[in-house]
Amino acid sequence: MESISVSGEVGGAGGAYSYNALKRLDKIWSSICSAQTVQQEPQQVVSNFPGVLSHSALAEKAVDKFDVVVCGGTLGIFIATALSAKGLKVSIVERNILKGREQEWNISRKELMELVEAGILDENDIEEATAVSFNPNRCGFENKGEIWVEDILNLGVSPVKLIEIVKNRFISLGGVIFEGCSVSGISVYDDAAVLQLAEENVLSSRLIIDAMGNFSPVVKQIRGGRKPDGVCLVVGSCARGFKDNSTSDVIYSSSSVKKVGNAEVQYFWEAFPAGSGPIDRTTYMFTYVNPQPDSPKLEELLEDYWDLMPKYQGVSIDDLEILRVIYGIFPTYRDR
Ligand SMILES: Cc1cc2nc3c(=O)[nH]c(=O)nc-3n(C[C@H](O)[C@H](O)[C@H](O)COP(=O)(O)OP(=O)(O)OC[C@H]3O[C@@H](n4cnc5c(N)ncnc54)[C@H](O)[C@@H]3O)c2cc1C
C-alpha cells in the first residue's frame, strides 16, 4: 500500500488514500472502540450569550455580515449555492482547500436532477461531471438469488469536477469562501450567531449550517461526546484489470457471518465501473460492527479484502494494478 501513489488527497470522507492516513483513522477507530460510554469530553464549540451582538465584546471588531454561514464545504457548497441563488448573502468556512476527492461518487441520475431542480446545476454540468454510466445494477445475498435493477447508483461522478463547477457558480453569485479555516467556536447572541476565524476575522450570520460531516465538532457537542452505538466500516480499492466491467453491484453479499479476531462480521460489497478507463473498477467491502475493544481494525479488514475481493470479482490479484486504496468509518446512533 505504501508504494501506491497518493497524490490529490483532500478533506472530506473517502478523500485520503495513504497508508499513514489509514493508520490515523484506525487510531481514531481504536479510541472509539476502547471508550466506555463517552468517547471524549467534547469541546464547547457553540456557546449562548444573552443580549445583542452590538453590546458584546466582539462589537469592536470588524464584522463581515452574512445571512447564512455554511461550516464544511464538501457537500456544504451545494446548499450554500442554492441559498445564494435565492439572493441570500452566504459564506462557507472550510478547514481545507475546498476540492472534491479523486475517487468518484456513485450516485443515480435522479438524485443529481434534484440539484438541477434546486437551481444549483444545469443538465450540461451533469454531463460534464459524469465520468461513467452503467446498467444494470445487481443486488444479491448468499444463496438467495439475485435481483437486477436499472438506474440505481449507476453513475460515477467526478467530485473534483462537480465541486469545481459549483464552487465557480457560488463565487459568481457573490458567495464568499474562507478556506483553511477550522470552525472551533460559535457564539450565539439574541440577534446573530458569530464565528471568530482569527483574531481580526469575525463573521456574523442570521443562520449557521453545520455541514462538517460525521466528525463535526458541533455534533460531538450535541451528543456529549457519546460513543456511537454502531459503526459501518468500509475498505476498498479502485483497480485496473477487470475485463468484465459493464455492470455494478449496489449491494452484494457472497459469504456468511465470519470471525475476524474475536468479532463476528457480515461482509457486503459494492462494485462500480470507474471513469478512469474501461477496465478500471471500484470495489468496496462493508460491515457493521459494535464498537468494542476486540472489533476489527480497518487494516485487518483490508487484509480480508485482498483475500476475498479477487474471488468475488472472478479475477487474480496479480492481474490488477491498484490505483488507490479507499477506506472510511461511519458512526451510527440509535436516536439519530
Ligand atoms: C470510502 C467512502 C466512499 C464513499 N462513497 C460515496 C459514494 O460513492 N457516493 C456517495 O454519495 N457517498 C459516498 N460516501 C459518503 C460520503 O460521506 C459523501 O460522499 C460525502 O463525502 C459526505 O459529505 P459531507 O460534506 O457530508 O461530509 P464530509 O465528506 O465528511 O465533509 C465534511 C467537510 O467539512 C469540513 N470540516 C470538518 N470539520 C471542520 C471544521 N472544524 N471546520 C471547518 N470545516 C470542517 C471537511 O474538511 C469537509 O470538507 C463515501 C464515503 C466513504 C468514506
Q: What pLDDT does 125 receive?
A: 96
Q: Which atom of ligand 1 is nearest to the CA of 213?
A: 27
Residues 6+ apart with CB under 8 A from 87: none
CA dist., res. 80 & res. 165, Å (int): 13
Give φ, ψ of 308 to 5 degrees: -90, -35
Q: What pLDDT does 170 receive?
A: 98
Q: What pLDDT does 336 receive?
A: 66
Ligand 1 pocket check for 214: Cβ under 6 Å? yes
Domains, in order of start, for the chain: 19-38+228-332 (3.30.9), 46-104+158-222 (3.50.50.60)
> Which residue's CA is the nearest one to ligand 1's atom 10?
105
Q: What pLDDT does 258 receive?
A: 87
ipTM, two decimals, is 0.96
Residues 6+ apart with CB under 8 A from 307: none
CA dist., res. 233 & res. 29, Å (int): 10
Q: What pLDDT does 6 receive?
A: 65
**Residue to probe by mutation, ligand 1, list 105, 152, 220, 232, most atoms within 8 Å of CB:** 105
- Could you read off the pLDDT tens digit of each residue along the chain, which spans 336 residues? 766 666 666 777 778 889 999 999 999 999 999 988 877 788 899 999 999 998 988 877 867 999 999 999 999 999 999 999 999 999 999 999 999 999 999 999 999 999 999 999 999 999 999 999 999 999 999 888 999 999 999 999 999 999 999 999 999 999 999 999 999 899 999 999 999 886 667 899 999 999 999 999 999 999 998 999 999 999 999 999 999 999 999 999 988 888 888 889 999 999 999 999 999 999 999 999 999 999 999 999 999 999 999 999 999 999 999 999 999 999 999 986
Burial class (CB in 10 A: 0-12, 13-18, 19+), 27: exposed
Ligand 1 pocket check for 102: Cβ under 6 Å? no
